[in-house]
Copies of this chain bind each other. A is one copy, B any other.
């Protein structure tokens, strides 16, 4: 039996408090970052007593871990929802990229909270991306078997694609407003390069 650093409430009323603390935590982590947010801040924001926080969470890290796990699922689900209609690898990459950036834009805590884990507990960060890469590799292998993807180092390709999504995501996130048209334009640019490479071929090849 494994125990979590948080405690799931047993009554409806408890759930309300629990959820409220989480909502306030998200809000503060999102605006100030994890490290800059104190337990006192969370207590003040949520209006509960100090002791109440510790009924549900061992400490600040426990709340962070809970929220992070939440987002892991949410990101996967969102991308899955947005790409399940895709019939080929090109569409899958395009829609996956758009889905990731859109998600990060709509709720930038999702983005921050995973990156920040690198400075809270490196193993959380490493686990997250290695797991993501592993799934990516499996998908790419399937697409390769179906003749859609070239025979390359799939692990490196996975990390390349994650890097592209994250940094192109950043580029977009630095803008004030992001429209669906911009998202399409950026995704098209990326896919064009993933399709034809970045270099001009010598004439006649």
Contact call B116/A200, Cβ cutoff below 8 A? no
Q: Is A1 an interface residue (CB 8 A)?
A: no
Q: Which of B33, B130, B155, B189 contacts A156 (CB 8 A)?
A: B189
Cβ contacts under 8 Å, A129 to chain B: 170
Contact A168 B174 (CB under 8 A): no
Known: A35-B35, A168-B163. A190 touches B116 (CB 8 A): no
For A170-205 the 0/1 string (1 means CB < 8 A from B) is 110010000000000110011011111111100000
Residues of B within 8 A of A35 (CB): 35-36, 119
Nearest Cβ distance between residue A115 and chain B, in whole angstroms? 7
Instruction: Give the residues in chain B near A198, CB-CB below 8 Å.
Output: 149-150, 152, 157, 194-195
**A149 partner residues in chain B, CB cutoff 8 A:** 198-200
Does any Cβ of B come within 8 Å of A147's Cβ?
A: yes
**How far does the Cβ of A194 sit from chain B's closest Cβ, in whole Å?**
5
A185 to B186, CA, bound (A): 30
For residue A88, which residue of chain B has the nearest CB?
B199
B196 touches A197 (CB 8 A): yes
* A-B contact sample (11 more), CB < 8 A, given A112-B119, A163-B165: A33-B119, A35-B36, A90-B199, A115-B119, A126-B174, A148-B200, A153-B189, A157-B189, A159-B170, A160-B164, A197-B197
